[in-house]
Amino acid sequence: MIHLENARLLADLELFVVATPDNQARFDLRPFGLVVADDARFDPLRREAAPFLDRLARLDALTFGAEGMPMPRWVFYDCAEIPGGIVGFGARAATISSDVRALLEVPEGAEGIVPLSMYIAIPTLEPGVWMGHNLSTARRGLGGITKAVALKVFRASAQIGVTQWDSAALFVHTRMGPLELLTAWTPAHSHAASLTYRVTIDDAALLRLARVPSGEAVRPPADRWIDSGDHAAIEALQARIEAGERFCVVGPPAPIGPGRWRVPIAALARSRGAPR
């Protein structure tokens, strides 16, 4: 069983999974000793899953609506529920507070699980490598444990992710270890000032992500810092990546102002043929 630093964090919560039956059959549904109850396994191919999926859409809108990036329902279905999966923690409707009920628009008399966090990932063509798509939470402290448990459910050996340079999500992602940069400046994304990273996944990395004492990751020392608001520096770093140089984010950013960070970067060996 997973033992968190904050033992009370999951005390009133249950794990849920949204995926097709075929995908669920490939998942680890006892991640770190946690159990997914039968009525917490949702099949998006069945109409009865609709009320729970409505609640997931509300949670996503609360997290990303202000940033202009809420997911349309077809994106949930086409890009998450069918090819990959959604994993998170929730509480039974009868146990949630009136404030949470109002926030998530849960009507009086509702039954079943109300999602309080979720992590979505999509499998790539490379076996074991998953693309992180969404991390949302309505309760402080649930982000890292949700992502860690979800990646365990998916049996991931590596994860690719995209986040913005000025996003507080970097504090969560960097717990796993150094994040190799695949892009620094990403005009293919709606927000060009986004970075794309890849990180190797094992149980030690996931336990660090969940804030379970498991030893420190090996991290090279930073040899430069990127100001999240310095787009010229970010584009210059992208040019060097495209020229064949390799870099990684070696640890959490340092705050330098409201919504603005200094992100620690280190150069890696140039060869991309070496094992990641």
Residue 215 pLDDT exceeds 90: no
Measured distance CA(276)–CA(76) in Å, rounded? 30
- State residue 68's pLDDT score: 45
CA dihedral 90, 94, 96, 99 (to 10 degrees): 130
Give long-range contacts, CB 8 A cutoff, 24+ apart: 35-42. 39/112, 39/113, 40/14, 40/15, 40/16, 40/90, 40/113, 41/16, 41/17, 42/16, 42/17, 42/18
- How many percent of the chain have pLDDT more than 70? 92
Measured distance CA(88)–CA(81) in Å, rounded? 13
Q: What is the pLDDT of residues 63-84, one digit of tens each?
A: 765 454 568 889 989 999 999 9
Residue 104 pLDDT exceeds 70: yes
- Reduced 3-state DSSP string for 28-83: CCCHHHCCEEEEEEECCCCHHHHHHHHHHHHHHHHHHCCCCCCCCHHHHHHHHHCC
Domain extents in the chain? 1-123+131-154, 157-276
Mean pLDDT, the chain, whole residue set = 90
| pLDDT-based confidence at residue 12 (cuts at 50, 70, 90) | confident
Residue 273 pLDDT exceeds 70: no
- State residue 203's pLDDT score: 93
Residue 276 pLDDT exceeds 60: no
Whole-structure pTM value: 0.90
- State residue 80's pLDDT score: 93
